[in-house]
Structure 1
């Protein structure tokens, strides 16, 4: 490099504006943050949309007194929509599950408390759920209160287990499953037929007990004979 070149670069550096402190790094932080926020809200909206679509796609249920009638879907499962703390949630009947299990996102929407973790066995292996209690679970016209349940972060619909189904009488007829709340079935004792007043008045009056009189008759020779008479 010659003297002229050195003087040229020196002049260029003298009039060059110094970079703003921190401006560039802040710009590189804001852009990723905005991208993450966009992805977060987009994913949340997508999950809500998928949940609504699952509810719409759930086979319709027919409420009956104290229960509900379910139809099988294309996979042969009995599905419907339940109200958990008045929040609609799609459900599937799972007779192999001991407890009713709620998806974590739906549990949050229903305000369910997340209790202590507990290990459970599933078809896919061991998983950890959280214990909870449902204040109100409504299936059709039947309602169960203060129901123990589990919360799981890996499922997308409520699994109705045996601790819920034990409150119902289940009748399956082909592709139809009828759930009737047990407290709707009342045990009736047989009632004996009553006696009418007419039949009582038509009966003959009761006879008073007969009075038997004992007599001892003796002749002159003191020969005695005992006789009995009602007069």
Structure 2
């Protein structure tokens, strides 16, 4: 997992480097945020590696071994944002009310309204996406899982897909399927490289500690 995480971090950095020189001011702010996330992760790993290397060196001084050499560390350079802007041509009253309840963390009420919106407008995938997210918030992971799998084959929208795969990764973590979760987070990042949360969730999986990030939602 360690090599995969740094491969993804390097991939993210490559995308930033490629885009930075031609980015407008708003885009540069977004890229700077992504750089900050990558730098924070890189610094954390460097600090942990230095502590490990110090401990290893002390042991080597007291217990000389022919094959115990100091390892070299390779030089690795280092939302609900996807849901803030809804571009659907028609947002029903039920959907708007559901959003209001969702922002107020009243998820049972939000589910009721999003269900109405989905029944009234079956093609409104945002309603089903919010339904899935609302079920996740109250711990109904099986129901959320069902909605996400319903959504995925029906859209090519990268942000919707990335949101779904990132959420599915969170669900897999609750089942302690960290390898599967790791793959889902990587897929989410590839679908939407502007969202750094999947990379941060990959780090949580690799260390088996921390808090998964999902926009404004947190899963312990």
TM-score (norm 2): 0.23
Name the structure with the higher helix share: 2
Higher radius of gyration, 1 or 2: 1
**Larger strand share, 1 or 2:** 1
